[in-house]
Structure 1
Amino acid sequence: MSRSGFVTFVGRPNVGKSTLTNALVGEKVAITSDKPQTTRRAIRGILNRPAGQLVIVDTPGLHKPRTLLGQRLNDLVESVLGDVDVIGFCVPATEKVGPGDRRIARSLSGYPRAKKVAIVTKTDAATREQITDRLIEVDALREDWAAVIPLSALTREQLDVLTDELLELMPEGPALYPEDVVTDESLEDRIAEIIREAALEGVRDELPHSIAVTIDDIAERETGSMTDIYANLVVERDSQKAIIIGHKGSRLRDVGARARAQIEPLVGTKVFLKLHVRVAKEWQRDPKQLGRLGF
């Protein structure tokens, strides 16, 4: 008897949802960063086990939106939550449960179809006392948790416990994706996300939300030994463009080198990566620009 279905992890931004998704899938399908709202799309990672298949939908963190982009990210999360079989509510072991956590936990009542699991993340960075406190706090948030599980995506501790529990909660049915598929993301989308992750590394706080990436072209050369990729890093202001490029182009070269190192294993050849930085004024607030950038 096989089970299969959809699970999504919710929580405040930066509680470890994308790291958990990647750890469960066993391959990097969602980019991670210590900047909140790194995830901007519903990315599906697929986990196959003898007992069945889990389709993990990684979504942006729920937050109070300050821009049209922020509102659209929240709307995306809402639509995903209405469709999944299980919702995993994540709270880091290292931080006390706060008003944002309580608000999200309460909001889960709006999705009666989904079973709810509470997950205390980042146990590798917490003391035993912190983990115990967090489990007690989280358990008290709702009466309908199907399970409360502490784990570390980094050390993989208790990941199997979570996987078994999630599969047990899924409806009976055949696999939804072929067994050799780890994500339904297109190659172009995965490359754009890798470049954005590289650009987020080390930038100052005002930049993360202002960066978008578009791909103009991906073309393998006739020899088959090199892939040419032309991409744009889109920011909102000239001052941000200067930050991304860096002194005499040094920052942009670093971004290119970091991104290339991750893209090459993905495409299976050496990569020539040409990055162009362009300014689209206030794109996060402009419906037309958002549409062009895929939001």
Structure 2
Amino acid sequence: MTTRPAEQPQAHRSGFACLVGRPNAGKSTLTNALVGAKVAIMSEKPQTTRHTIRGIVHRPDAQLVLVDTPGLHKPRTLLGERLNDLVRTTWAEVDVIGMCLPADEKIGPGDRFIARELARIQRTPKIAIVTKTDLATKKQIAEQLIAAEQLGREVGLEWAEIVPVSAVKHYQVDLLADLMIKYLPEGPPLYPEGELTDEPEQVMVAELIREAALEGVRDELPHSLAVVVEEMLPREGRPADRPLLDIHANLFVERPSQKAIVIGAGGQRLKEVGTKARRQIEALLGTPVYLDLHVKVAKDWQRDPKQLRRLGF
């Protein structure tokens, strides 16, 4: 009688993955779906992401650290150039890259530009991710999967995998995590169990305020809006069972006309921004919040190196 050797326990894997794609390709929504919590802000406006937010996916046999970069684009300002530099630096440091291609939109020049850039990175495995399948028909999804394969051939890029997903419906999100983990090196966890992001709380609070302020505004505003949290302090003299966190933040725009848009008639829009942001911040931090918002004009800050530094870029 022969006995089978006992199965070796699977080695733990840990490392970094990056989601790339043209602006508004679904990278932030997919990051949040993979992590299972909101760590990246979402907006219908392109080029919303400005920080490389890390979301952490915990598995018994692996830890996948997701880096959500800004969308690579043709820069028109110093801020745009710095965001593109941030993207390329991130690409060079991760273990696997996923390129997001929306299922409901045909592949265009922006996708080809990014794919050509990716083709220059030799050793890093690259996965084509057909996103937003909930917005497309089966025929569109099939056509986009074929188009993704053709895009790779066109630019000299060999995809390690091609996978359709829907972050909204959570379709194949876990499968995508499995595929990415496959390409991570063996190693111990990089972050403590339960930690979902390494972003400082103040940065995440500022991002939630900016997300609320971007909702439903004209196209001119998204790139001109920056948020800085000046202070986050527990309210003194509150009983232990009724804490209150005071948050004071400034919203910076480039022109007085944009300030008027953010504030709205009689301050109504800024009040709505504050209410929405406060709910999100309280959910994030797990404590009641008093949110004090002020809108200020920082003329042409996207083109001014000194102001970019002051605003954290």
TM-score by length of 2: 0.93
1:172 counterpart (186, 189, 194): 186
Q: Report the secondary structure of 2:257's partner residue.
A: helix
> 1:144 maps to which residue?
158
> 1:227 maps to which residue?
245
Within-5 A mapping of 1:88-107: 88-107=98-117
Larger radius of gyration: 2
Q: Report the secondary structure of 2:74's partner residue.
A: coil
Matched, 1:65 2:75: yes
Deviation at 1:169, TM superposition (A): 1.0
Which deviates the most, 174-183 or 24-33?
174-183
Deviations 1:62-86 (A, max 9, x none): 1101111111110100100010010
Cα separation, 2, equivalents of 1:190 and 1:72: 20
> 2:22 maps to which residue?
12
Runs of 4+ in 1 over 3 A off after TM superposition: none
Cα separation, 2, equivalents of 1:91 and 1:292: 34
Matched, 1:122 2:132: yes
> 2:43 maps to which residue?
33
Deviation at 1:255, TM superposition (A): 0.4
Cα separation, 2, equivalents of 1:186 and 1:14: 24
Matched, 1:83 2:93: yes
Quick one: which amino acid aligns to residue 96 of structure 1? K
Q: Report the secondary structure of 1:89's partner residue.
A: strand
> 2:3 maps to which residue?
none
- The Cα RMSD (Å) is 0.9
1:252 counterpart (270, 282, 288): 270
Deviation at 1:113, TM superposition (A): 2.9
Within-5 A mapping of 1:201-212: 201-212=215-226
Deviation at 1:182, TM superposition (A): 0.3
Q: Would the aligned equivalents of 1:85 and 1:113 in 2 still touch at CA under 8 Å?
A: no
Deviation at 1:267, TM superposition (A): 2.2
Cα separation, 1, equivalents of 2:198 and 2:124: 22
Q: Report the secondary structure of 1:232's partner residue.
A: strand
Cα separation, 2, equivalents of 1:51 and 1:119: 23
Cα separation, 1, equivalents of 2:149 and 2:28: 23
Deviation at 1:268, TM superposition (A): 2.1
> 1:293 maps to which residue?
311
TM-score by length of 1: 0.98
Q: Would the aligned equivalents of 1:68 and 1:285 in 2 still touch at CA under 8 Å?
A: yes
Cα separation, 2, equivalents of 1:109 and 1:268: 43
Counting matched residue pairs gives 295
Quick one: which amino acid aligns to residue 237 of structure 1? R
> 2:296 maps to which residue?
278
Cα separation, 2, equivalents of 1:97 and 1:239: 36
Cα separation, 1, equivalents of 2:146 and 2:61: 31
Deviation at 1:109, TM superposition (A): 2.0
Which deviates the most, 222-231 or 148-157?
222-231
Cα separation, 1, equivalents of 2:284 and 2:183: 33
Cα separation, 2, equivalents of 1:187 and 1:207: 25
Deviation at 1:106, TM superposition (A): 1.3
Cα separation, 2, equivalents of 1:47 and 1:251: 36
Cα separation, 2, equivalents of 1:245 and 1:140: 47
Deviation at 1:266, TM superposition (A): 2.0
1:44 counterpart (26, 51, 54): 54
Unaligned runs of 5+ in 1: none
Quick one: which amino acid aligns to residue 259 of structure 1? A
Quick one: which amino acid aligns to residue 169 of structure 2? T
Q: Report the secondary structure of 1:141's partner residue.
A: helix
Quick one: which amino acid aligns to residue 202 of structure 1? G
Quick one: which amino acid aligns to residue 17 of structure 2? V
Q: Report the secondary structure of 1:111's partner residue.
A: coil
Quick one: which amino acid aligns to residue 232 of structure 1? N
Unaligned runs of 5+ in 2: 1-10
Matched, 1:266 2:295: no
Q: Report the secondary structure of 2:25's partner residue.
A: coil
Matched, 1:196 2:196: no
Deviation at 1:110, TM superposition (A): 2.2
> 1:181 maps to which residue?
195
